[in-house]
């Protein structure tokens, strides 16, 4: 292939001013990226530096003792916090996921573009923007200080607050994924003589499943890290309690309490707990990514 | 609901195809013009025993044969590329038949011209037979002209009218046959009479082909194929 | 031409195509055309539409159509875009009403039973009247075997001899030889033409009476298209087939009868041969010769 003559090439070459502008723009974008990365990198660095030191076998297997002032009394680990977080988030998920998926299914398959469905969608959108502390306050006002279910702080009340938090996220993400299932699949199933509920349960949901799992796991990850809703509903504790009927410990609560302590060891424990929480959420995110790679719609 | 109220006006679709079809019809019908020229010269040669003119006609038949091949090839190409249907398909099928009939008519002119040298250079022995043959020729010519007009105008009545003229040609032919038998004993005369019978038969064939063109006209218009002549069975 | 000027007798009209309905003189209402001599695998039902009207909200898309689909024959519906042919076909298996705000009026008779009757179960109707869509849509989460079995499982039909039914359906769709060694592989791994035949097998598995095809070959390459057209020719021995198509040559190739629709109305219906050699209505003539549409 003969090279093009110089004057033809010159006609296609960008002008010097264009090149300058291009370079400037690229520089700006690269700069902004670096700027955004700085706090993230610093965060990870601090977490690792300050938190890794606290990790040990006993860190994960002993409860916090509550002692902070005396040097020769062990401060304990964070076992109850880890277990408490896992239990509460599990209960919250058990509540939020079925209800959330159910609402999403209704919105996509039955409500569609109807007026009532649009109202529901509007409220769901509103709820996604509500600050998490408001959910905590709501549970506080309705369940903690009233005698409806027995006064006082309890683990399951924290779960309820977390469930309220997760619900709009689950609904939105599930709705998006369900909408991505091609209508041709529903039509094919209907045309074969399947009743609508079977179309949903046997065709739509299995097809949307990987995407929905991703959305659900992200909601779970978010709920695990919320502190504010737990403040007024759960209260925190030191000992591991396996039931959720009374006050329970949770990782965010543990961090919240520990970080303001004057004792260095306690502060370090807080960093260790923060690192643990971040690692847990990281693992959940990785699982979410792996399942979404197998997704068949998005 | 007229097609004009829809997106594109009637006849606007497939312009290249319509042009091609129209051009094939033009070629076919102008083939009839070539044939009429041939027929005129044949009758002229017959009238004056003009052997040179007859030779010219025989040579010129190549033009009609060439036209047949052109149209035939054009139709094959059109069928392969354009997949005509309905009225267009009937027209294409009819053109194939019509150009064949034209080619056959051209061959009949050649046959007549080949017979002319056999008539000898003397004036015709039986002027009456001679006249009848020429009259047949004139009728045949008018039949061919009418067939062309009928096809070009898609005129079924005009096409059906061809049968009337053809009957007249057949009648004259039977007459010639009878007269030729009674014509006499001299070998020259008898030879001439036989030749006239053959000539008459060729002209009669031309007339039949013209009627066939009329039948194709009816087919294009009505979609039904019907025999016009009443000799074998009514269509 | 013989010497006395008469011509030998000729046939009354052009003969029918090999697969077509033969000449018009031989047409009867229920029996296959005279030129067909293959025995039926199954005597399927006929479908009749009486004054069928279909609406999207207030807009009337199909305006009072009366049309017969003969048993064990292929009927093609042709017409320009937006003439209502797809809507019409979707009314036959009551898929039209799945669209929000859409409804249909009139009667659709499957062998004298009005499937729009009040006591008729929609699900049962769709088992008897299957549908193949324009874009092949095998279920992505299922293997080839499961896809074909899906029809049986979803419709709650008998689960006995699933393997036999799946194999028979795949054979009926002309796909068995190509996939018999990989039934466990995902259905979406097949080529476009194979996927469409998989969808046909899926519909055949539930043993339908009628198969509706909405432009089944539009998304396929020419070779795959021809394979499916050959398949349709075999399938009609067991089911009644209605095919909507944009491609007139396809209608001419596969259909025994052809119906022409324009702006929601049925303009003309008749043996395919007649429609494409000598249609009665001027609008049909103009459409098939490509003068509009």
Q: How many CA atoms lie within 13 A of A291 on its CB side?
A: 18
pLDDT at site C158: 64
pLDDT in tens, B119-145: 666 666 678 888 899 999 999 999 999
Closest CA to C246 of C60, C31, C14, C76: C76
Mean pLDDT comparison of B62-66, B83-87, C124-128, highest-scoring range: B62-66
Q: How far apart are CA C81 and CA C261, in angstroms?
A: 10
pLDDT at site B220: 95
More confident residue, A244 or A193: A193
Q: How far is CA A218 from CA A160, A204, A283, B96, C88, in A?
A: 18, 21, 11, 75, 45
What DSSP designation does C78 have?
E
Q: How far apart are CA B121 and CA C95, in angstroms?
A: 89
**pLDDT band at residue C185 under the 50/70/90 scheme:** very high
Give percent of chain B above pLDDT 90. 67
Q: How far apart are CA A133 and CA A147, in angstroms?
A: 22
The average confidence (pLDDT) of chain C is 86
Closest CA to B209 of B59, B92, B109: B109
Closest CA to A297 of A232, A202, A208: A208
Q: Which of A68-82, B68-82, B105-119, B216-230 is predicted least confidently?
A: A68-82
pLDDT in tens, A155-180: 888 899 999 999 999 999 999 999 99
Q: How far apart are CA A258 and CA A271, in angstroms?
A: 9
Q: How far apart are CA B191 and CA C265, in angstroms?
A: 72
Query: Per residue in C195-216, is it b (16+ CB within 10 Å) or e — as a string?
Result: bbbbbbbbbbbbbbbbbbbbbb
**pLDDT band at residue C210 under the 50/70/90 scheme:** very high
Pull the structure tokens for residue C191: 């080529």
Q: How large is the average pLDDT for residues B76-86?
A: 91
Inform me whether the C-beta atom of residue B10 falls under 8 Å from chain C C-beta atoms.
yes
Inform me whether the C-beta atom of residue C11 falls under 8 Å from chain B C-beta atoms.
yes
pLDDT at site C30: 40
Measured between beta carbons, which residues in chain C are less than 8 angstroms from residue A207?
139-141
Q: How far apart are CA C89 and CA C244, in angstroms?
A: 8
pLDDT at site C36: 57
Give percent of chain A above pLDDT 70. 96
Q: How large is the average pLDDT for residues C46-50?
A: 94
Closest CA to B148 of B212, B52, B88: B212
**pLDDT band at residue B62 under the 50/70/90 scheme:** very high
Inform me whether the C-beta atom of residue B171 falls under 8 Å from chain C C-beta atoms.
no
Q: Chain A: nearest CA to C101, how far in angstroms?
A: 11
Q: How large is the average pLDDT for residues C74-102?
A: 93
pLDDT at site C16: 38
Q: How far apart are CA A65 and CA A43, in angstroms?
A: 28
Q: Are strands C113-114 and C47-56 parallel, antiparallel or unpaired?
A: unpaired
pLDDT at site A284: 85
Q: What is the helix (H) or strand (E) element at residue B127, kind and residue range?
A: helix B127-152
Q: How far apart are CA A160 and CA A262, in angstroms?
A: 33
Out of A112, A185, A296, name the one closest to residue C137 (CB).
A185
pLDDT at site A265: 82
| pTM of the complete model | 0.79
Closest CA to B51 of B203, B138, B59: B59
Q: Which of A246-250, B70-74, C141-145 is predicted least confidently?
A: A246-250
pLDDT in tens, A224-246: 988 888 888 887 777 777 777 88
More confident residue, A257 or B209: B209
- pLDDT of C263 > 50? The answer is yes
Inform me whether the C-beta atom of residue C292 falls under 8 Å from chain B C-beta atoms.
yes
At residue C176, φ and ψ (nearest 5 deg) are -55, -50
**pLDDT band at residue A295 under the 50/70/90 scheme:** low
Q: How large is the average pLDDT for residues C78-84?
A: 92
Closest CA to C257 of C235, C241, C238, C237: C241
Give percent of chain C above pLDDT 70. 86
Q: How large is the average pLDDT for residues C79-96?
A: 93
Measured between beta carbons, which residues in chain B are less than 8 angstroms from residue C279?
86
**pLDDT band at residue C94 under the 50/70/90 scheme:** very high
What DSSP designation does C92 have?
H
Q: How many CA atoms lie within 13 A of B77 on its CB side?
A: 10
**pLDDT band at residue B163 under the 50/70/90 scheme:** very high
Q: How far is CA B187 from CA B127, B184, B192, B193, in A?
A: 17, 9, 9, 10
Measured between beta carbons, which residues in chain C are less than 8 angstroms from residue A184?
133, 135, 137
Inter-chain touch A193–C98, beta carbons under 8 Å = no
Q: How large is the average pLDDT for residues A145-152?
A: 79
Out of C1, C248, C290, name the one closest to residue B14 (CB).
C290
Inter-chain touch A192–C199, beta carbons under 8 Å = no
- pLDDT of A77 > 90? The answer is no
pLDDT at site A288: 80
pLDDT in tens, C105-163: 999 999 889 999 988 999 889 999 999 999 999 999 899 999 999 988 887 766 778 89
pLDDT at site B119: 67
**pLDDT band at residue B117 under the 50/70/90 scheme:** confident
What DSSP designation does B227 have?
-
Q: Are C113 and C46 in contact (CB under 8 A)?
A: no
Q: How many CA atoms lie within 13 A of B182 on its CB side?
A: 7
Query: Please, which residues 86-115 of chain C have a Cβ atom closer than 8 Å to chain A?
Result: 93, 95, 98, 100
Q: Helices B86-115 and B127-152: crossing angle, nearest 10°?
A: 160
Q: Are C90 and C104 in contact (CB under 8 A)?
A: no
Q: How far is CA A102 from CA A96, A167, A181, A205, B106, in A?
A: 10, 11, 16, 11, 86
- pLDDT of A148 > 90? The answer is no
- pLDDT of B188 > 90? The answer is no
Provide the residue count of chain B: 235
How far is the first Cα of chain A from the last one, in angstroms, to the nearest whole number? 42
Q: How far apart are CA A240 and CA A246, in angstroms?
A: 11
Give the sign of the dihedral formed by CA A51, CA A54, CA A57, CA A59. negative
Inform me whether the C-beta atom of residue B19 falls under 8 Å from chain C C-beta atoms.
no
Size of interface B-C (CB pairs under 8 A): 90
**pLDDT band at residue A258 under the 50/70/90 scheme:** confident
**pLDDT band at residue A70 under the 50/70/90 scheme:** low
**pLDDT band at residue A134 under the 50/70/90 scheme:** very high
pLDDT at site C6: 45
Q: Are C131 and C203 in contact (CB under 8 A)?
A: yes
Query: Per residue in B117-147, is it b (16+ CB within 10 Å) or e — as a string?
Result: eebeeeebbbeebbebbbebbebbbebbebb
Measured between beta carbons, which residues in chain B are less than 8 angstroms from residue C249?
83
- Residue C257: strand pairing partners: C75, C271
Q: How far apart are CA C160 and CA B230, in angstroms?
A: 69
Contact exists between C and B (3 or more beta carbon pairs < 8 Å): yes
Q: Which residue of C has its CA nearest to A183?
A: C137
Q: How large is the average pLDDT for residues A132-148?
A: 87
pLDDT at site B124: 64
pLDDT at site B232: 46
Inter-chain touch C137–A188, beta carbons under 8 Å = yes
Inter-chain touch B3–C291, beta carbons under 8 Å = yes
Give percent of chain A above pLDDT 90. 41
Inter-chain touch B208–C279, beta carbons under 8 Å = no
Closest CA to C108 of C80, C146, C66: C66
């Amino acid at each position: 292939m003969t090279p093009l003559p110089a004057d033809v090439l010159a006609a296609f070459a960008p002008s010097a001013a264009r090149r300058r502008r291009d370079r400037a723009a690229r520089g700006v974008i690269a700069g902004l990226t670096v700027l955004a990365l700085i706090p993230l990198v610093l965060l990870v660095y601090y977490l690792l530096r300050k938190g890794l030191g606290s990790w040990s076998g006993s860190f994960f297997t002993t409860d916090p003792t509550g002692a902070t002032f005396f040097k020769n009394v062990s401060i304990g680990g964070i076992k109850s916090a880890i277990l408490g977080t896992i239990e509460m988030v599990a209960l919250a998920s058990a509540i939020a996921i079925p209800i959330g998926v159910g609402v999403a299914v209704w919105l996509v398959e039955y409500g569609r573009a109807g007026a009532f469905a649009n109202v529901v969608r509007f409220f769901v959108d509103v709820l996604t923007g509500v600050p998490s502390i408001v959910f905590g306050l709501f549970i506080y006002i309705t369940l903690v200080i009233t005698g409806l279910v027995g006064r006082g702080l309890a683990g399951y009340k924290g779960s309820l607050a977390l469930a309220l938090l997760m619900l709009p996220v689950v609904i939105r993400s599930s709705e998006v994924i369900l909408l991505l299932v091609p209508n041709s699949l529903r039509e094919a199933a209907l045309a074969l003589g399947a009743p609508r509920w079977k179309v949903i349960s046997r065709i739509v949901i299995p097809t949307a499943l990987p995407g929905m799992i991703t959305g659900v796991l992200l909601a779970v990850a978010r709920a695990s890290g919320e502190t504010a809703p737990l403040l007024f509903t759960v209260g925190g504790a030191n000992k591991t309690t396996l039931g959720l009927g009374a006050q329970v410990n949770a990782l965010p609560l543990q961090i919240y309490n520990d970080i303001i302590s004057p004792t260095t060891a306690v502060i370090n424990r807080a960093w260790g707990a923060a690192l643990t929480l971040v690692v847990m959420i990281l693992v959940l995110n990785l699982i979410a990514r792996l399942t979404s790679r197998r997704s068949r719609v998005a | 609901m007229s097609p004009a109220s829809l997106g594109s006006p009637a006849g606007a679709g497939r312009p290249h195809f319509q042009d091609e079809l129209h051009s094939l019809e033009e070629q076919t019908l102008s083939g009839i013009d070539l044939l009429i020229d041939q027929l005129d010269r044949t009758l002229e040669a017959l009238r004056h025993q003009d052997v040179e003119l007859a030779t010219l006609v025989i040579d010129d038949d190549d033009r009609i044969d060439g036209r047949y091949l052109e149209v035939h090839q054009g139709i094959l190409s059109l069928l392969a590329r354009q997949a005509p249907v309905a009225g267009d398909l009937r027209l294409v099928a009819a053109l194939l038949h019509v150009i064949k009939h034209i080619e056959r008519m051209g061959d009949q002119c050649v046959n007549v011209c080949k017979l002319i040298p056999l008539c000898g250079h003397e004036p015709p022995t039986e002027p009456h037979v001679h006249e009848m043959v020429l009259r047949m020729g004139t009728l045949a010519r008018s039949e061919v002209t009418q067939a062309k007009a009928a096809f070009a105008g898609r005129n079924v009545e005009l096409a059906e009218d061809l049968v009337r003229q053809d009957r007249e040609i057949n009648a004259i032919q039977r007459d010639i046959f009878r007269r030729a038998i009674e014509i006499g004993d001299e070998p020259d005369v008898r030879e001439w009479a036989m030749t006239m019978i053959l000539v008459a038969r060729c002209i009669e064939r031309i007339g039949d082909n013209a009627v066939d063109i009329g039948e194709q006209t009816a087919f294009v218009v009505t979609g039904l194929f019907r025999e016009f002549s009443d000799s074998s069975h009514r269509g | 031409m013989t010497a006395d000027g008469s011509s030998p007798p000729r046939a009354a009209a052009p003969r029918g195509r090999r697969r077509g309905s033969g000449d018009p003189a031989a047409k009867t209402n229920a029996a296959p055309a005279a030129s067909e001599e293959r025995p039926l695998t199954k005597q399927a039902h006929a479908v009749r539409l009486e004054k069928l009207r279909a609406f999207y909200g207030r807009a009337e898309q199909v305006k009072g159509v009366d049309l017969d689909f003969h048993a064990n024959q292929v009927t093609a519906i042709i017409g320009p875009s937006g003439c209502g042919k797809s809507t019409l076909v979707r009314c036959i298996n009551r898929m039209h009403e799945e669209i929000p705000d859409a409804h249909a009026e009139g009667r659709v008779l499957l062998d004298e039973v009005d499937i729009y009757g009040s006591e008729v179960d929609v699900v049962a109707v769709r088992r008897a009247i299957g549908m193949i869509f324009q874009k092949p849509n095998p279920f992505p989460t299922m293997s080839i075997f499961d896809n074909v079995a899906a029809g049986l499982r979803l419709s709650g039909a008998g689960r006995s001899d699933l393997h036999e039914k799946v194999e028979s359906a795949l054979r009926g769709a002309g796909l068995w030889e190509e996939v018999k060694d990989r039934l466990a592989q995902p259905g979406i791994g097949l080529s476009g033409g194979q996927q469409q035949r998989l969808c046909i097998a899926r519909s055949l598995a539930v043993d339908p009476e009628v198969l509706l095809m909405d432009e089944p070959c539009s998304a396929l390459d020419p070779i795959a298209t021809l394979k499916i057209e050959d398949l349709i020719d075999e399938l009609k021995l067991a089911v009644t087939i209605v095919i909507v198509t944009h491609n007139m040559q396809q209608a001419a190739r596969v259909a025994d009868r052809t119906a022409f629709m324009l702006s929601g109305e049925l303009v003309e219906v008749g043996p395919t041969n007649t429609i494409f050699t000598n249609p009665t209505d001027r609008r049909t003539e103009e459409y098939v010769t490509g003068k509009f549409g």
